């Protein structure tokens, strides 16, 4: 059996972080090595090159197109098949066919009677993935499987890129059940509570004025002659202004305090 393929590049450090941005040409080199290993029945070499391709994708500093992404997923399908992981194989082939539906798998690479070829044919009729919205990034735009997009599959893996005017900021192989990491815009501050606070202050002022008016009427009532026929009316107005003023002051104060408590300025 041939010796396993040993990629000559170092992509990530021991901590898993990218040592430097990688290029699409490096990805193509790793994919070619993987296909060569498959053709020679070199399964360890295939797995090594496929793993290198995944590392390269996670460190890409260039925008990758759908054709290269589809080739990447086809190799991931081969790797899954070499490990006996049928679910991974079928999923990767389905993604590859969705990204590049016009591609024909060469029969010299995978003969028609090969089980993998049957899986490739079956992937054409696989149900489409469920799509979910991607939050807009702080700046720039997002790419999913080589195309600009605002949505991403929720039940399929995909290649994600965050791109700005300065270039590719992040590239990630996003597995099923996970989400890409990128910067979001700062939260938008709403000013509803400020309006409530202002309204509360106004209510408190009006309420306070009503209470002052009630106090003046009370003095008038206390100093008026006993037979004054207006006393009953004054008493009624005084009571209404006093109670209403207290109510407005309490409500206004509550609104103002509530707005401060919300702390949404």
pLDDT at 183: 96
Residue 9 lies in a domain: no
Residue 209 lies in a domain: yes
Residue after which a domain boundary falls, among 107, 141, 174:
174
Asked if residue 152 and residue 84 are part of one domain, the reply reads: yes
pLDDT at 10: 81
Asked if residue 149 and residue 34 are part of one domain, the reply reads: yes
Residue after which a domain boundary falls, among 145, 174, 203:
174
Structure tokens at 35: 């296909």
Please enumerate in sequence order all residues whose Cβ is within 8 A of that of 228, keeping only pairs 6 or more positions apart, or say none. none
pLDDT at 252: 42
Q: What domain count does the chain have?
A: 2
Asked if residue 146 and residue 42 are part of one domain, the reply reads: yes
Asked if residue 29 and residue 156 are part of one domain, the reply reads: yes
Asked if residue 170 and residue 91 are part of one domain, the reply reads: yes
Distance CA 221, CA 239 (A): 12
Residue 254 lies in a domain: yes
Residue 253 lies in a domain: yes
Distance CA 72, CA 31 (A): 7
Residue 12 lies in a domain: no
Asked if residue 34 and residue 101 are part of one domain, the reply reads: yes
Residue 104 lies in a domain: yes
pLDDT at 192: 54
Asked if residue 143 and residue 47 are part of one domain, the reply reads: yes
Residue 18 lies in a domain: no
Asked if residue 137 and residue 249 are part of one domain, the reply reads: no
Q: Which domain holds residue 235?
A: 192-262
Residue 19 lies in a domain: no
The pTM score is 0.71
Asked if residue 41 and residue 144 are part of one domain, the reply reads: yes
Q: What is the mean pLDDT of each run of 10 residues along the chain (265 residues)?
A: 53 90 97 98 97 97 98 98 98 98 95 97 96 98 98 98 96 96 89 50 45 45 50 46 43 42 40
Asked if residue 149 and residue 65 are part of one domain, the reply reads: yes
Asked if residue 149 and residue 203 are part of one domain, the reply reads: no
Residue after which a domain boundary falls, among 174, 201, 232:
174
Asked if residue 145 and residue 47 are part of one domain, the reply reads: yes
């Amino acid at each position: 059996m041939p010796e396993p393929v040993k990629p000559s590049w170092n992509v990530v450090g021991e901590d898993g972080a990218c040592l430097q941005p990688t290029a699409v040409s490096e990805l193509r080199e790793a994919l070619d090595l993987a296909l060569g290993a498959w053709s020679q029945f070199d399964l360890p070499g295939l797995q090594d090159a496929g793993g290198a391709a995944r590392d390269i994708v996670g460190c890409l500093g260039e925008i990758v197109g759908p054709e290269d992404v589809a080739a990447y997923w086809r190799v991931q399908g081969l790797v899954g098949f070499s490990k006996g992981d049928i679910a991974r194989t079928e999923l990767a082939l389905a993604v590859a066919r969705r990204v590049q539906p016009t591609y024909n798998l060469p029969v010299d690479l995978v003969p028609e009677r090969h089980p993998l070829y049957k899986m490739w044919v079956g992937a054409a009729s696989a149900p489409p993935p469920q799509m979910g919205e991607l939050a807009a990034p702080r700046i720039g735009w997002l790419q999913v499987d080589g195309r600009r997009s605002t949505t991403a599959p929720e039940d399929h893996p995909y290649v994600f890129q965050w791109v700005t005017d300065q270039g590719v900021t992040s590239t990630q192989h996003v597995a099923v059940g996970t989400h890409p990491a990128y910067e979001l815009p700062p939260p938008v501050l709403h000013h509803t509570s400020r309006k409530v606070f202002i309204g509360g202050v106004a209510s408190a002022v009006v309420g306070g004025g009503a209470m002052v008016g009630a106090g003046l009427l009370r003095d008038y009532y206390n100093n008026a002659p006993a037979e004054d026929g207006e006393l009953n009316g004054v008493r009624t107005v005084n009571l209404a202004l006093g109670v209403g003023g207290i109510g407005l002051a309490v409500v206004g104060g509550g609104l103002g305090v509530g707005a401060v408590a919300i702390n949404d300025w």
